[in-house]
């Protein structure tokens, strides 16, 4: 995703790399022209680009623009709908909007095979085996059963269990959708 976002030419000097293969070679200078993963503003800039694409298309494709603004977590899109026909339309509109920005959605997973775009066959990362799970955002999703599973890391219980220890462990759980929040809240209380 980040490599699809071009940096303004005035800012490429801030992404300068000095490189040489060995100490006898002269120094070569390179400037990165795309967004660099790992820099502080990279995540914000990437998500802001998605938001801008949605804002530019809100009048043309209001539902797709809303999904782009609300259903992305960095570069993962998790969305749904009420009917297969609506989802196919939504999928096609999202693909069209993101294509204007040079973004290609890959690694499709769905609970119905017709939701996987035909043009994405070689990049496909989906299985319709009855026990197959797709992992995203620390959640495991089974497309056949349309069920979610959350895996908690087992931790060692110290000899002296304190409130601080419990709060520390519950704060380490990554739960962006808030599905495990009721369990964590009861532990925190």
pTM, whole model, 2 decimals?
A: 0.71
Rounded Cα distance, 113 and 115, in Å: 5
Give the rounded percent of residues in the chain with a pLDDT score beyond 70.
93
Q: What pairs with residue 76 in β-bridges?
A: 73
Torsional sign, CA 78, 44, 37, 137: negative
pLDDT at position 106 is 81
What would the mean pLDDT of 131-150 be, rounded to a whole number?
79
Q: What is the mean pLDDT of the chain?
A: 85
23: pLDDT strictly greater than 60: yes
pLDDT band of residue 59 (cuts 50, 70, 90) is very high
Rounded Cα distance, 46 and 29, in Å: 26
Give the rounded percent of residues in the chain with a pLDDT score beyond 90.
42
Least confident of 34-43, 92-101, 144-153: 144-153
Q: What pairs with residue 136 in β-bridges?
A: 139
pLDDT at position 47 is 92
């Amino acid at each position: 995703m980040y490599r699809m976002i071009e940096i303004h030419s005035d800012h490429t000097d801030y992404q300068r790399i000095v490189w040489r293969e060995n100490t006898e070679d002269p120094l070569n200078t390179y400037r990165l022209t795309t967004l660099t993963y790992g820099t502080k503003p990279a995540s914000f800039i990437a998500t802001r680009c998605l938001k801008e694409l949605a804002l530019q298309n809100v009048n043309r494709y209001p539902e797709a623009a809303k999904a782009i603004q609300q259903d992305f977590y960095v570069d993962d899109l998790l969305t749904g709908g009420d009917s297969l026909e609506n989802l196919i339309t939504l999928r096609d509109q999202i693909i069209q909007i993101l294509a204007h920005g040079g973004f290609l959605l890959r690694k499709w997973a769905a609970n119905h095979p017709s939701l996987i775009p035909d043009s994405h066959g070689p990049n496909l990362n989906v299985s319709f085996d009855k026990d197959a799970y797709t992992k995203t955002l620390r959640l495991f999703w089974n497309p056949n059963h349309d069920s979610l599973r959350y895996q908690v890391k087992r931790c060692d219980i110290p000899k002296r269990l304190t409130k601080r220890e419990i709060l520390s462990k519950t704060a380490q759980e990554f739960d962006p959708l808030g599905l495990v929040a009721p369990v964590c809240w009861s532990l925190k209380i």
